[in-house]
Amino acid sequence: MVMFANLIKNVPFFEGYEQDEIQSVKPLFKKRKYSRGTLLFMEGDAGEECYVIETGLVKIYRIDESREITLALLDDGDYFGEMAMMQKGLTRSATAEVVEPSVIYSLNRRDFVHFMETNPKMCLKLLEETMERLRKANDQIYDLTFLDLKSRLVKAIIRLADEKGIEVEGGTQIPFKLTHQQLANMVGSIRESVSKLLQELQDEKIVTIKNKLITLHRQNL
């Protein structure tokens, strides 16, 4: 089990806070367990809470003309939902769904805003992180617009390996199971096309897949 202080201090806008400062905000967070398939919020909902994942896996996605587009897969130590809390009245721009049983801390908007008002350094950290997320969103838009499907798939795997991967013998493994449909939703395609390309990538020894766990072999790119 991850200690609260170790979990929170890895959230970028709490970076640099002392142990006693982090402990002072602990009572503001609510800890809950969620089962697979739980919707934490939906696109268009009021943004009243932000979340930090202790354990589990959460999918952030949008529905575009009846097709699901996965924007992010978040696991242990990740946070989300803070952008809609920046201004009162803003609504969620995407849906958050629990993919695997998860333990998640939540912080409501009122307490979040009060803490920002009394801790100016958090505002700068939050701005920096918001700009980084905007940059990543622009990268995703570029990929979907200008790259072919194979390039998008390889780039998505590299991004997951960079952000979440653990080093194993011969490569970097994404530490959670991914279905072909989930990958298809990430790259704006259909499952059949992604399945075919994944086989190509395995034949080219760029990836290996075992029990739905993907290992990236960068030396073969």
- Per residue in 88-101, pLDDT (tens digit) is 788 899 999 999 99
For 4, 70, 87, 193, 213, the CA distances from 204, given in Å and listed in that order, are: 43, 26, 48, 17, 17
What pLDDT does residue 15 have? 75
What is the rounded average pLDDT of the residues 23-29? 87
What pLDDT does residue 2 have? 65
Listed residue (137, 131, 112) closest to 8, CA to CA: 112
CATH architecture of 4-145: Sandwich (2.60)
What pLDDT does residue 215 have? 98
Which CB contacts under 8 angstroms, 24+ apart, belong to 155-160? Answer: 156/183, 156/186, 156/187, 157/183, 157/201, 157/207, 157/214, 157/216, 158/216, 160/73, 160/214
What is the rounded average pLDDT of the residues 101-114? 90
What pLDDT does residue 116 have? 78
Q: Does domain 148-220 have CATH number 1.10.10.10?
A: yes
Task: Calculate what percentage of the chain has a pLDDT beyond 90.
Answer: 62
Contacts of residue 18, Cβ cutoff 8 Å, sequence gap at least 6: none
Which residue intervals of the chain bear CATH 2.60.120.10?
4-145
What pLDDT does residue 145 have? 87
Count of C-beta atoms within a 10 Å radius of residue 39? 11
Which residue intervals of the chain bear CATH 1.10.10.10?
148-220
- Per residue in 177-206, pLDDT (tens digit) is 999 999 999 999 999 999 999 999 999 999
- Per residue in 54-85, pLDDT (tens digit) is 999 999 999 987 789 999 999 999 999 988 77
- Between 10-14, 76-80, 145-149, 160-164, the lowest mean confidence (pLDDT) is in 10-14
d(CA 40, CA 32): 11
What pLDDT does residue 200 have? 98
What pLDDT does residue 105 have? 96
pTM of the model: 0.84
